[in-house]
Amino acid sequence: MAVNIVTNLQIVSKAKTSRYFRTNLGLVATVEKGGNRKYNEKDSFSSYYNTGYNTIIYGQGNIGDIKFYTDHYIKDQVMAVYYGDNFEEFIFEWDEKIFKEKGMDFYIGHILKEVDLAYQEKIKNDELKKLEEKPKGNAEAVLSNPGAVTYEDLQAYLEKKRKERYGGI
């Protein structure tokens, strides 16, 4: 799964202390199309972030498949981790204590483990929401109390009329 981390320059400089960090300044943020400057769509995450937050992020490098970007408007000590192809966002406060005690490699592993657990929990919750049964409407409410009719009530009423008209087909 693709992992992208956006943070401020101070945290990226700490990430550069990892022995696996490789500097990669990424692609140019904007390109000229038809006389106008537009976001470069070749870097899909950068384009997604730039469009969503209306700011430009700058590639700094990577640790394996994990790409690091800086956003100069992030002033807090936080890391925004975007996981998967849908760029699910997870925000983590920077923990200087873990970084100093265990190092950057451990810290990144720790963050990835938390992201993976949170992502699995989100998938599970999304599946449960899909399985939840939608509320059934009351077809009689259309005639008895038309001012308090819900969409489900109208669907039930129309379904009842369809069955009456076509004999339960």
Query: 3-state SS string over 15-56?
Result: HCCCCCEEECCCCCCEEEECCEEEECCCCHHHHHHHHHHCCC
Q: Are 38 and 56 in contact (CB under 8 A)?
A: no
DSSP H or E stretch at residue 74: none
Does 112 share its domain with 68? Answer: yes
Instruction: Check whether 134 has a pLDDT greater than 70.
Output: no
Does 33 share its domain with 114? Answer: yes
Q: Cα separation of 165 and 17, whole Å?
A: 74
pTM for this one? 0.72
Q: pLDDT digit string (tens) for 70-96?
A: 999 999 999 999 998 889 999 999 999
What pLDDT sits at residue 73? 94
Q: Cα separation of 69 and 132, whole Å?
A: 39
Q: Are 104 and 17 in contact (CB under 8 A)?
A: yes
**How many structural domains are present in the chain?**
2
Domain that holds residue 146: 135-169
Does 159 share its domain with 96? Answer: no
Does 143 share its domain with 120? Answer: no
Letter string b/e over residues 18-42, b meaning 16 or more CB atoms within 10 A of that residue's CB:
beebeeeebeebeeeeeeeeebbee
Does 56 share its domain with 22? Answer: yes
Q: Are 63 and 109 in contact (CB under 8 A)?
A: no
What pLDDT sits at residue 168? 62
Does 121 share its domain with 152? Answer: no
- Higher model confidence: residue 127 or residue 18? 18
Q: How far is CA 87 from CA 52, 59, 81, in A?
A: 11, 16, 8
DSSP 142-166: HHH-GGG--HHHHHHHHHHHHHHHH
Instruction: Check whether 46 has a pLDDT greater than 80.
Output: yes
Instruction: Check whether 133 has a pLDDT greater than 70.
Output: no
Instruction: Check whether 10 has a pLDDT greater than 70.
Output: yes
Does 104 share its domain with 54? Answer: yes
Does 9 share its domain with 84? Answer: yes
Does 101 share its domain with 127? Answer: yes
pLDDT category, 131, cuts 50, 70, 90? confident
Does 69 share its domain with 97? Answer: yes
Does 142 share its domain with 99? Answer: no
pLDDT category, 5, cuts 50, 70, 90? very high
Does 14 share its domain with 43? Answer: yes
